[in-house]
Structure 1
Amino acid sequence: MNTKHLLDEYIDVYMTSLKYLDSFISEPAMAFKLSFEQYLIMHTIKESQNVTLVDIADSRKVTRSAISRQIKVLLGLEYIYQERDSNDRRRQYLRLTPRGDEIERVISKKAEQRFQSWVDYFGEGKAEEILHFIRQFVDVANLNNPADS
């Protein structure tokens, strides 16, 4: 298969499959007016002690303003709140509200169920193989495009 044909096949897979995969993963969050990224921020808050906006931006390798926009939405929906550090008033920790905690739990459960259905269908070995390939792909992409990483 020549490179152009292979590229065309990759584009076709992206347009027909990977976009579906994104919506399949995002769907549980949409029921609560959340993007998948916003849900992931909520999940990080739940799983972390004393996490800040800067911590999330740094761990995701995105700008603080990108995370700030997502956090504004979560604050507006009253799914999270900010709590000042008693020792350093400039630092604000992100916390889930009781409603935010419940929503995070519901979305996490649905996401786990959906993912389990994939693992049941493809098998754990294939799921690990796909994950390994994706990680290799990202590593190579980062080597070839160091400004993007």
Structure 2
Amino acid sequence: MAEEKTALLDAFIDVYMSSLKHLDEFVSEPTKTFHLSFEQYLILREVTQHEHVTLMDIAIQRQVTRSAVSRQIRVLIRQGYLRQQPDENDRRRLYLLATPTGEQAERLIRQRIEHRFQGWLDIYGEAQAHELLNFIRDFSQITRFKTRDNPHDRT
């Protein structure tokens, strides 16, 4: 690899180690008071915003396995944020419903996330936020496409 490209790669690695790695912590901080991960919050949010949500709906939407979603839902149920209710026509189908505690937690977490995001917008501005969002979308789409076509190429 040419020296210039090696320097660019090193710069990307440095940014990852010093910044991007901590993005998850930044995003999930508002959920910590409720002993939830950001992923668990997103499930709670989905359930509070839509009716008749099932575990399978969430798995399909997130493109993950049922067992991965099931683990997250178990935590939400155990903590009293969600409950399951069988479909009246097909008792095998279980709908996820937010409890009053879950609805309140989702509302408070959403307010904290919105406040945190507004602070970020105040610093960087909407134009830069849109630019970053578009870059991440492009990067994600290209990465998914390449990985799907050639599973050995994880670029």
Please report the TM-score for the alignment, with normalisation by the length of structure 2.
0.91
Instruction: Give deviations 1:95-116, integer Å, cap 9, x for gaps.
Output: 1110011001100110011011
Query: 2: distance between equivalents of 1:43 and 1:98?
Result: 13
Identify the residue that residue 13 of structure 1 maps to in structure 2: 15
Offset at 1:7? 1.6
Query: 2: distance between equivalents of 1:31 and 1:7?
Result: 37
SS of structure 1 residue aligned to 2:90? coil
Query: 1: distance between equivalents of 2:89 and 2:58?
Result: 21
Query: 2: distance between equivalents of 1:19 and 1:144?
Result: 23
Query: 2: distance between equivalents of 1:18 and 1:47?
Result: 29
Query: 1: distance between equivalents of 2:50 and 2:58?
Result: 10
Instruction: Give deviations 1:31-82, integer Å, cap 9, x for gaps.
Output: 1111110001000111111100000000000000000000011111111000
- Extract unaligned runs of 5+ from structure 2: none
Q: Counterparts of 1:1-149 in structure 2 under 5 Å? A: 2-146=4-148
Offset at 1:14? 1.1
Offset at 1:121? 1.2
* Counterpart residue type for residue 41 of structure 1: I
Offset at 1:2? 2.3
SS of structure 2 residue aligned to 1:88? coil
Instruction: Give deviations 1:15-42, integer Å, cap 9, x for gaps.
Output: 1111222111101111111111000100
SS of structure 1 residue aligned to 2:85? strand
Query: 2: distance between equivalents of 1:121 and 1:54?
Result: 39
- The structure with the largest alpha-carbon Rg is 2
Identity of aligned residues (%): 51
Instruction: Tell me: higher relative CO, structure 1 or 2? Use CA pairs within 8 A at least 6 residues apart.
Output: 1
RMSD of aligned residue pairs (Cα, Å): 1.3
Q: Find runs of 4+ consecutive structure 1 residues off by over 3 angstroms.
A: none
* Counterpart residue type for residue 69 of structure 1: R
